[in-house]
Amino acid sequence: MSIQTIYDWVTLRDYQQAKERATDQVVERLTRGNTLAQDGSAMEQDELDQLSRSADDAMRSLARAVG
């Protein structure tokens, strides 16, 4: 056992590293096949809300145009 390993254990750094690895594995598993998410392209809630509002506006406009 190295000094670094003991230091990591005492300072809980090994716990934080294990949590980060587990998080990465979960994200990799859940985004399998979704290349946008794998590349880090994701929407924040405010961006999603804005997109939803613009889609609602577009649907109202389309409904008016169609009659």
Give pLDDT tens digits for 13-64. 889 999 999 988 887 887 777 767 666 677 788 888 999 999 999 999 999 9
Distances (CA, A) of 18 to 56, 58, 60: 43, 46, 49
Within a domain: residue 37?
Answer: no
pTM score above 0.75: no
Range of the domain at 66: 42-67
Residues 21 and 23: their CA atoms lie apart, in Å, by 5
CB 8 within 8 A of CB 14: yes
How many domains does the structure of the chain reveal?
2
Whether residues 24 and 47 fall in one domain: no
Q: Report the first-to-last Cα separation within the chain, whole angstroms.
A: 76
- Write down the pLDDT at residue 35: 67
